[in-house]
Structure 1
Amino acid sequence: MKPGFQKGQLTTWKDDRSFGFIKPTHGSKEIFIHISALKGASRRPKMGDTIVYQVITQADGKVSASNASIEGVLPQSWQKKQNVNKRRLLPKIIGIGVMFMIAILSQEFNRSRSPSLIKLVTKPGCQIKGNISIDRGAKVYHIPGTEDYESTVIDPARGERWFCTESEAITNGWRKTPK
């Protein structure tokens, strides 16, 4: 407890009139308390609450509680701060989840860019690879045995495709790779 503060139990509380009386722990005369002495309390006091307070003497000589708080009850500003922190936590959790999903999807995408048996059997019997060059955007086709045939991966999402015959590739606007 802070120096200059006392502790007591709330013995009377008239909620409709917003005041009550505290029985000090050290046993002296009851102390008057008004709701205004409990600024920032997150709830209204009730009988039996332990109140921490400072004693002040009014101009008329009456003694009352000031700068009071309810023991064990967080101040309203603290609870608001906790609620703000909870509201900030949700977007962080969502952001982490999104980043996690992006990481998983990018790994899957990278796996799909490497040659696999599934890619080679995409169009059974068709072995001509229709590829779009990354640097120029040119549509070229590769036939088995050419220089880049084995390293070429077909990505249907980019518009690349398989052909069964060279004439099919040419008819669809693709040209033979020079190598």
Structure 2
Amino acid sequence: MDTTFKQGTLSVWYDEQGDGFIVDPNGERTFVHVTTFGRIPRRPVVGDTIFYTTAIDRDGKIYADYAWIEGLPAPRRRSHFRQHRKKSRPWGLTDVVLLLTVILLFLVAGWLLTATFAGDTITTTVTQTSAKRPGPPECVIKGNISIDTGEKIYHLPGMKDYEITRISEEHGERWFCTEQEAIQAGWRRAGR
């Protein structure tokens, strides 16, 4: 942006489009839009003397970015905000470390909550199972014998069929305190 004020004459003005061209004393044309003038009491007309500054757009073309008509009050400088706007800065090492720390804290907190609630569920299941059957409360592994195949399968608390599996000790089914005990007695772990 060139902050040097230039003076020119409005040579072309398309009022319906709200734009036109300023010609400086050297004959160079500069595009101008009505918004460049800010709030003015009248529209620009061909022949007005214009004071202006220039900038370059993305396509490399020069345009008036601040202008006023001679004899009218100068508008507030719109580009002032753009010049002094805080620019975003790239992320530094401290920002990245802080972000990763926050993410890690959320993950740890989530894991702790999950572990706490899962622990409560397992404890509740063990307590409920213990209350429904005879024997030591720590023996909660169900040793079941399949009616169809006679296969011996054991179920752990939390497995899919654990709750619906019933133990009939009169048919040879039993409770185990550890998986090792069940395996040594000839049972295999259920698939789900």
What TM-score results when the alignment is normalised by the length of structure 1?
A: 0.39
Structure showing greater Rg: 2
Q: TM-score normalized by structure 2?
A: 0.36
